[in-house]
Structure formats: structure tokens, C-alpha cells
Amino acid sequence: MEDIEQIDKIELVYLKKEDHLEIVRLMENEYRHLDDSTWTQEEFYSLIEKFPEGQVGIKINDELAGFALSIIVDYNKFDDTHSYKEITGNYSFNTHDINGNMLYGVDIFINKKFRGLRLGRRLYEFRKELCEEKNLKGIIFGGRIPNYAKYANEISPKEYIQKVKSREIYDPVLNFQLSNDFYVKRVIKNYLEGDIESKEYACLLRWDNIYYTKATTKPMQEKLVIRLGLIQWQVRPYKNIDEVLEQAEYFVKSVSSYRSDFALFPEFFNAPLMAKYNHLSEADAIRKLAEYTPQFKDAFSALAISYNINIITGSMPELVDGILQNVGFLCKRDGTIERYAKIHVTPDEEKVWGLQGSNEIKTFDTDCGKIGILICYDSEFPELSRLLANDGMNILFVPFLTDTQNGYSRVRVCAQARAVENECYVAIAGCVGNLPKVTNMDIQYAQSAVFTPCDFAFPSNGIKAESTPNTEMILIADVDLELLKELHNIGSVNNLKDRRTDIYDVIRKN
């Protein structure tokens, strides 16, 4: 940066036709090696008239310090090997389409006098905000590689770009664009006629708008801020299933009255119904409990429709063809029902009850995006949640039942780890209280909670909300899916993006 007088004012302004002469003066000095080094009055006026909000400048002490020019194009009409003349309609800008899907960067320029003030970053940030405001897919443009001529006899453009990325070669244009979150899509040959510094090569650079939403004719958009209702269930004696369902409806009604999108019940919340079978062996008692499962499924589906809420039914035993599994149901408010089952049964569940693990791993599509459900012990196996994250899961629900505090701590700590490593929200809900008349289910410990990743947009400790330990209550918390999109792309760290899948991976076998 050259020595300049004290800066009194920096402002971002929309360019006007009267700025043309100053732009010509700046560009002629910078691009004197090009045959066509600047914009004619006709070309510049055309840009201003066609898309005034896309032409912006930075003024320092009322002197033009830089500018950025852009148009909107329907990129479906072009391919990735286009030339600069083609994309600009031979500089007429007749390719500008207000109904297009991409913001195309026509030009960006910083006055030598003011370089070093990071003014280019301000112009790129303006373009990104404009792209988001217009709901465009992203920004794309051909970026010059002005130092390539020095290496053209030794390496290809592809090798040159790789060396710039690895900091072996410095390129003032490409280094700057890469540092502003643009990525190289491909190399374009014969892009800008007369650009001898770049040997007429260019990098096709792109930035994706993570907030872009495709236009839809549906009456309702997919929700972005999701309200979770967690039910910390007190186990107590019940005479029959009707009393259990009465209590369940009370909680569904309560969380629904707060306009919750999901109600999460704990694992084996209906275990008190085994009290009447306590004279039987533990294995026979839980098989008696399994006889109630079809009735619970139908009742919860009716509640989901009636209270306009998606219900995750915790879990309950199910006996099918002699195989006993720990299962639950996602009862959606549109009336559909989907089943999930515990994959890893605990040693106690296998030994005492004869439970068997499921082989099915899946995510669930809901009106609030993709979710995953893992029952208690399953949350302690990171491979499962990673597979669900690979499928696009945003929220992981974990219904659990733990008898001791150390058992609870395993579930809690692992749930928090799943939120960080998979960049998702995790909601856990458990049972509290005692069941002295139910063998193998006599004591419970729980503190339900909602966990988040740990980054600036989230609580620093990764805890969105948590209940009072060992007390019957509901917990209501909102989670924002837009924050996850930001985290995936511009977080302090990128756990999902930075996985070294070149040396390891997690895969399904079934």
C-alpha cells in the first residue's frame, strides 16, 4: 500500500454513470498490457441500466478506491468452458437475466493506492450478501492467473493451481479468491482474449449460497427453526394401559400447546405395566409387555394427528416371529408411521430378557428435515451416528433408560460427542423414579437435555437446554437448522468436511 493521507471516511456506494471516467483512468493504468483495457461508456452505462444494484464501489475520502461489477445469468444456458465474451454477450450484457440462478462476477478492481486495506474482501462480502438477498445458487466467474506466464513452460495450469493452493507459488488473484471461500471448479482455456499474463487461461471459481432455497409450489416450506419437546417421564404404578396413555396424552398436549414440532418419550417408559407380571420370569414378563405394543403404536399415531405433532415413542418391546426386539415408532403428524429398533442391546438386556439387536440403520424424512433415532446404548457407538450424518441427519433423538448415574453419564457424554463430531443437534430423554414391583427395572436416573456443536453460533459448552435431574417435567428447546448450514461451511472447524476419507471411512455392510 502506498502512503496515503489520513482516512476520514470509507463508504460502500452504488456506482453511477458519472463514475465512468474515473474507472477508465484507473483501469488504463493497471491493464495497459491488454488491447481492450477498460470499459467503454456504452458498456458501462449498459451495466448500470440493466442491473444497478449489482455495480458497487468503495470510496475513501470521496476518492474511488475500488469497484465490483456483476450480472445475474441463467447458468443453465452456459457450460463451464465459456469465454468471457460469451458470458457477457460480447460485452453487451444482454446475458443478464433477472430470473437467472447465478451471480456472475464481471470485474473487480482495487486502486493500487489503497491496496493492503482488504477492500477486495468488502466487495466480495457485498456480492455474497447480494447473492443471498436474491436467493441465487451462488457466485461464479473466471479468475485470471496473472503469474502463470512465468511458469507456463514448466507446468500445466492444473499443476500451477495446485502449487498455488499448497503455497508453493504465490498468485495475487487466485490466492486472494481462495482465501475468500471460492473454490476452483475447472480450468478454462481461451477465456480472456489478450490476457498474456495468464496465457489466456482462467480458473472457473465458484461460491455456493448455503441459504439458497429452490422455488416450490407447495403451500408450506420445510421448517428451519424446530421446537423440541422432551418428556422426562416419572415411572409409577399404573393399573392398565389406559392410565399410561392418559398420562402420555397429557404430556403430548402440554408440549403441543407450546407449538413443539417433536415430542420425545424415553426408552421403556411403559415398563410399569410389567408390575402385574412380576410373578413371572423377567423374560416372560417383558414378552407380556410386548403384547401392548400394537395398541401403543395406534394410540400414539392418533395423538400425533390430533395434536399436530411428530411423536417419537421412546421404545417398547416387540415380539415378531419369536424374535424380541427393543423398538419404537416415529408417528408423524401426517398420519404415517415408521419403525426404528435398537441395534446394540446391552449385556443385561440380552442375558435377562433375551433381546436381539436390529440390523437396520436409517434416517427419517420429516416436515422438519432429516432426523435420526438411536435408542440409548446405540448412542455410544459413533459409527451409527456417522452413517446417519452421511445421509443428511440434522437432529439425532436418543430415548434412553439408565438406572445409575454412571450409566447416564455414558449416554450423556457420548451424545455430546455425537453433536460435535457430526455437526448436528442431539436430544436425549429418559425415565426417572423407582419401580420396586418390577424386577430388573427398579431404579431410574435421568437428566434430559438438548446438545449442540461447540462454535460461536451455539452455546460455548454445547448445552442448549437441560432438565432438572430426577424430576418429572417437560423440556422445550428451539434448534435452528440454518446455524448448522453455516457451521458445515464456515465453522471454526469442519469436522465433517475435514474427515480423511482417503485413509478411512465408515460403511454399511447390509
Known catalytic residues are 267, 342, 376
C-alpha 166, offset from chain centre: 28
- Grid cell 477486495 is found at 120
* Dihedral angle computed from the Cα positions of residues 109, 115, 120 and 121, in that order, rounded to the nearest 10 degrees: 180
First to last CA, the chain: 61
Those residues with Cβ within 8 angstroms of residue 9's Cβ, 6 or more apart along the chain or in another chain: 59, 60, 61, 62
H or E, element range at 11: strand 10-14
Q: Is the CB of residue 280 less than 8 Å from the CB of residue 288?
A: yes
Q: Reduce the DSSP state of residue 490 to 3 states and report it.
A: helix
- Beta-carbon count within 10 A of 211 CB: 14
Q: Considering only CA atoms, which of 199, 205, 184 is closest in space to residue 147?
A: 199
Report angle CA 276, 282, 287 to the nearest 5 degrees. 75
Contacts of 341-348 with CB under 8 Å at 24 or more apart are 341/375, 342/315, 342/375, 342/376, 342/377, 342/378, 343/374, 343/378, 343/381, 343/384, 344/377, 344/378, 344/380, 344/381, 345/377, 346/376, 346/377, 348/440
Please count the other Cβ atoms lying within 10 Å of the Cβ belonging to residue 487: 24
Residues counted in the chain: 510
CA distance 507 to 510: 9
CA dihedral in degrees (196, 198, 200, 202; nearest 10)? -160
One-letter identity of residue 144: R
CA–CA distance, 298 with 463 (Å, rounded to integer): 34
Contact between 458 and 480 under an 8 Å Cβ cutoff? The reply is no
